Amino acid sequence: DADVTQTPRNRITKTGKRIMLECSQTKGHDRMYWYRQDPGLGLRLIYYSFDVKDINKGEISDGYSVSRQAQAKFSLSLESAIPNQTALYFCATISLTGELFFGEGSRLTVL
Amino acid sequence: GESVGLHLPTLSVQEGDNSIINCAYSNSASDYFIWYKQESGKGPQFIIDIRSNMDKRQGQRVTVLLNKTVKHLSLQIAATQPGDSAVYFCAENNAGANSKLTFGKGITLSVRP
């Protein structure tokens, strides 16, 4: 089983719809991250959390929100999806030594 | 501002040759650096890391070199194999309060048979 699991893996939705991407981890790490990947732009940090109920904005948080209700789960929401949020989204956890573990990604298409 | 960048967007090498992928970083406070490999359809996978108190670290077929003077990081892959074909990212981390990794844009390594 994967250490970091993301659902759904693929999602197609329409402009204005609310979307939630779920992430769960079995590493027991406190710190979790959501990244967005676009061609030519690499990985950009959306939000991160150092502990349950702790939420911090990354470099591109506008249009997104997150929830960290449990150590193992970190969800990313798009309250009203727009086409330029079409991207590949990655959840990750980080160990105490700084090693980052990524999920397999969630591909979101907003029409 | 802070940035991590890769010098070349693509690199093509012959199978069996050594590959060298370079990366520049701009945050002199960064103290931890990681190389990731991302295969098509998958999430990035850890390859090797190095802390700022070292200038070289070796793994299996891979070596990471860190030059703090010019803020340069490189990944060397020995005897490159077709399975090494992927996108490679360098990342830097300042282990201060924020502990955020900043990623470069990625470089595609293509291995010719």
Cα–Cα dist A100/A91, whole Å:
10
Please say whether the beta carbons of B61 and B79 come within 8 A: yes
Please say whether the beta carbons of A48 and A36 come within 8 A: no
CB contact, 8 Å: B93 with chain A?
Answer: yes
Cα–Cα dist B72/B94, whole Å:
15
Cα–Cα dist A90/B69, whole Å:
33
pLDDT at B7: 47
Is the predicted pLDDT of residue B3 greater than 60, yes or no? no
Of A45, A99, A102, which has the smallest distance from its Cβ to B100's Cβ? A45
Of A35, A42, A48, which has the smallest distance from its Cβ to B104's Cβ? A42
Cα–Cα dist B46/B35, whole Å:
6
Min CA distance, B25 vs chain A (Å)?
15
Percent of chain A residues past pLDDT 70, beyond the cut: 99
Q: Which of A21, A31, A43, A49 is the mutation pick for testing B, counting most B CBs within 10 A? A: A43
Cα–Cα dist B75/B92, whole Å:
14
Is the predicted pLDDT of residue B39 greater than 50, yes or no? yes
Please say whether the beta carbons of B36 and B91 come within 8 A: yes
When pLDDT is averaged across residues A32-49 and rounded to a whole number, the result is 89
